[in-house]
Amino acid sequence: MKRSIIHQRLVFGCVVLLLCALYIPRVWALRLLYLDSTVRMHVQRELTEVATEEGWLVSDIIVRSVSEDAVMILHRGHIRGRDPRACFVLPFRSELKRPCDV
Amino acid sequence: MRRLNALISLEIYALVLTAVQLIGGVRTDEAKYLLNIPYPHPPLVRTLLSWTEFLPFQECLWRFLFASLLAQAVWLVWDLGRGLGRRERMFLSACWLLASGVLLQAGGIYLVCFTALQALCFLWLVARMPSTGKYAGWVALLWLASLFTAYQAALFLPLVCAYFLRAKISWEERIAYVCLPPLLLILYSLSNPLSIASMFIHGGRDLNSSIPMRALGTLRVWMLGGSLLLSIAGTIGIFWSKRWELILSFLLVSAYVALSRYDYYMVLFTPFFIVGLAVLLKNRALPKVIINAGIPLLVIATIITVFFFPPILKRDPSRAVMRSIASERRGDEVLIAGSFGHQWQYESTLPVRSYSPNWLPHARAVICLQPCGDMAMHEGWVRKEESGVEVWGRE
């Protein structure tokens, strides 16, 4: 029984560490979105504008990282089969979006 | 042999419920999970669903699996009735299978069905598992998996706390097992700001509803969870039990439904009603005449409930429209004018955009869910109608 309990603790611990390793870097890349209301406002505006211009659904847009002057997004058009993907950097002070690596 | 016959009968029952749900086609919420659209729920189950996207029978497969899981969950219900006579256990099990919550939701590809099964698991664990702590780690993983299936699993925190408080484990383990999974869920949510935004949007839905309207809506979902009769008996049993974890979790589910009031949440109530009914049966609070007449009464109540709140039997036009477009050759996108649900994305093999004349050169077809008056001005496009929907294709 003791071995089984140790085994359970190990598995639980490994899963927790794996999820932390997966999500902490992503949250770190988005920290300004939560800490800075001005950046948050810019991101919201950029997402709404790009969704309207491109005819995208907001649910197909993933925010990858946020800096003080730009937001990096991944657009993934959810369809049956292979989803088309495109990455863009949207500067806050410019209308031009730049492609980036998916 | 008897057990095998029961297993097969349950699968036939699941097959029938699957067939009923297939009539209506894929709904927008179901499409969200089948396509692994990253809101509003965490990724565990929707990722599993999306791994089968390449299968042409993906919808059928998952409807049948979901229906089978809900049907086969009756074995947990049977075990919840341990200590009762055979007749009472049969009655309890029949209540699970015939409750409108299960009948109307089995075969639907909604994460709430998984969450209801997880609720039943936690209720069974609290009622039946010995308090040795031998399986505490696995229960913690179930708790983590539940939270990463759907946010609603947070409503079962009282049940989880009750299990770990009784388990003979250290306080450090208790705190880790109870608290780490919700903290990880918060971490996931912060990594996906859209899920947080959608919570605010859905939370703001119907903010102007009056309290009587909310109460009526909640009552409707409560009634649908147990065909009214099971709802009444189950609720009485829940409060009769005086078990704080059961009452608290039930109240949290009720409060959640009062805020959200989608009909598909009905199945969240059903496991609680079953446990409440089991409490009444174990305390011999139900007269024998009710137990004897219980199944026929429940059947009548369910028939009446389903008559007034039937499943969706009218097929959405998205599949027919997208299939008619698939045979066209030119263009690599589909444009849709007007507000559209995710089932249009699901039925399409081409990327979908909101309509704008700028995208016409790339479009294979334009679907007008609201009038596209200016399409007639563009050369090379001809208007068709498919399943009552205005569609423009190339000449």
Q: Which residues contact B247 (CB under 8 A, 6 or more apart)?
A: B238, B239, B241
Cβ <8 Å between B190 and A27 = yes
pLDDT score of B203: 62
Residue A7 contacts B, CB cutoff 8 Å: yes
Cβ <8 Å between B191 and A26 = yes
Query: Predicted ipTM?
Result: 0.94
pLDDT score of B322: 93
Classify B334 as helix, strand or coil.
strand
From B82's Cα to the closest Cα of chain A, the distance in A is: 26
How many Å is the Cα radius of gyration of chain B? 24
* Residue-range definition of the domain harbouring residue A96: 2-100
pLDDT score of B337: 93
CB B233 within 8 A of CB B302: no
Contacts of A4 in chain B (CB under 8 A): 134
Cβ <8 Å between A30 and B193 = yes
Contacts of A79 in chain B (CB under 8 A): 35, 345-346, 348-352
Cβ <8 Å between A9 and B190 = no
Contacts of B342 in chain A (CB under 8 A): 59, 78
What is the C-alpha separation between B226 and B274, in angstroms, rounded? 9
- Report how far Cα B254 is from the mean position of its chain's Cα atoms: 16
Residue A58 contacts B, CB cutoff 8 Å: yes
Residues 125 through 184 of chain B touching chain A, CB cutoff 8 Å: 133-138, 140-141, 144, 173, 176-177, 180, 184
pLDDT score of A101: 81
The domain spans of chain B are: 2-308, 318-394
Contacts of B354 in chain A (CB under 8 A): 55-57
Mean pLDDT value across chain A:
92
Alpha-helical (H) ranges within chain B are 2-23, 28-34, 44-50, 58-72, 74-80, 86-98, 100-105, 111-128, 136-147, 157-166, 171-191, 193-203, 211-225, 229-241, 244-260, 266-282, 288-308, 318-326, 343-347
Q: How many domains does chain A have?
A: 1
Classify B82 as helix, strand or coil.
strand
Sign of CA dihedral B302, B70, B287, B239: negative
Q: What six digits make up the tokens of A19?
A: 């999820």
B318-350 burial code (b ≥16 CB/10 A, e <16): bbbbbebbeeeeebebbbbbeebbbbbbbbbeb
pLDDT score of B109: 95
What is the C-alpha separation between B143 and B159, in angstroms, rounded? 10
Contacts of A16 in chain B (CB under 8 A): 180, 184
Pairing relationship of beta strands B352-354 and B333-337 according to DSSP bridges: parallel
Cβ <8 Å between B355 and A79 = no
pLDDT tens profile A74-89 = 999 998 888 889 999 9
Report DSSP state, residue A63.
Answer: E
What is the C-alpha separation between B11 and B124, in angstroms, rounded? 22
Report DSSP state, residue A83.
Answer: P
pLDDT score of A32: 96
Sign of CA dihedral B163, B109, B37, B262: negative
What is the C-alpha separation between B373 and B101, in angstroms, rounded? 44
pLDDT per residue rounded down to tens, chain B (395 residues): 788 999 999 999 999 999 999 999 999 999 999 999 988 899 999 999 999 999 999 999 999 999 999 999 999 999 999 999 998 999 999 999 999 999 999 999 999 999 999 999 999 999 987 777 889 999 999 999 999 999 999 999 999 999 999 999 999 999 999 999 999 999 999 999 988 887 776 666 666 678 888 888 999 999 999 999 999 999 999 999 999 999 999 999 999 999 887 888 999 999 999 999 999 999 888 888 888 888 898 999 999 999 988 888 888 999 999 999 888 778 889 999 999 999 999 999 899 999 998 899 989 999 999 988 788 888 888 898 888 999 999 88
| A76, β-bridge pairs | A85
CB B334 within 8 A of CB B367: yes
Cβ <8 Å between B35 and A30 = no
Tokens 């699996």, located at residue = B65
CB B67 within 8 A of CB B92: no
Q: How many CB pairs under 8 A join A and B?
A: 99
pLDDT score of B375: 83
pLDDT score of B101: 94
Residue A8 pLDDT greater than 90, yes or no = yes
Angle, helices B157-166 vs B171-191, to 10°: value is 160
| A91, β-bridge pairs | A70
pLDDT score of B202: 65
Q: Which amino acid is at B294?
A: G
Residue A9 or B208, more confident: A9
Angle, helices B111-128 vs B58-72, to 10°: value is 20
Residue A56 contacts B, CB cutoff 8 Å: yes
Pairing relationship of beta strands B381-386 and B389-394 according to DSSP bridges: antiparallel
Q: Which of A80, A55, A51 is nearest to A63 (CA)?
A: A51
Q: What six digits make up the tokens of A58?
A: 């907001």
